[in-house]
Structure 1
Amino acid sequence: MPGGIGPVNAECVTALRHVQRDVRLSASANEKQIFYNLTTDRAHCCPRRNVVYFVASVHVAVHAIIGSVLKSMGAKMRAEQLYLDKHGAFWGGIRVTLSEGKAMAVLVALKLKGIQVSISG
């Protein structure tokens, strides 16, 4: 996984998925603060920015879920890989920009698939 931390043990992923955390980020939270609060089964939505953030994982298909929802609505997914450093050496989360009115359908689909969704302010 170029730029990533390498494979994550499946037992570790399972343990992380069973941890419920109450994540409350302000509407002004920056992308590094958002990324810090993500795990493989958690997504974060910023309605003011019309974006959803998540972490790419082979264990949870968040990317595919969002893509399927948008495709069913006749929209294309605009996803951008974010980095923790200015050189692009360390992958951060993925940011998906949603057009107006698509966020609610995406968030409902994620929740139905067991993804924890937090929303900024």
Structure 2
Amino acid sequence: MTAAVDERVWVRVCGYAALEPENGVAVLLPDGTQVALFRTSDDTVHALSNLDPFSGAMVLARGIVGDRHGVPMVASPMHKQAFDLRTGRCLDDDRTGVPTYPVRVVDGVVEVAVG
């Protein structure tokens, strides 16, 4: 049996200590993509697109981080739609969502997978 090989490219985006619990920060990937990083109260890091699909503005990193019925979420600062931090699914409109990105912390540095 062979072990699975991770073919993704991991990009170092910021130090873990720069992420305050229950807050977001926007980072720019090498291809120009804006990603919103969030650290929840249980110290889990999530990454999703910074683009609010309802307003078209790059603002999700400035949203209100919280929990809706056990689901970690961020509410857009524009129109307050909530997005599941794990899946990107809009909790207020099942037809809408935002892309999510694999994220990990290695030696105190947050990395996002691209490609």
TM-score by length of 2: 0.34
Larger RCO: 1 or 2 (CA < 8 Å, sep 6+) = 1
TM-score by length of 1: 0.33
When you count helix as a share of all residues, which structure comes out higher?
1
When you count strand as a share of all residues, which structure comes out higher?
2
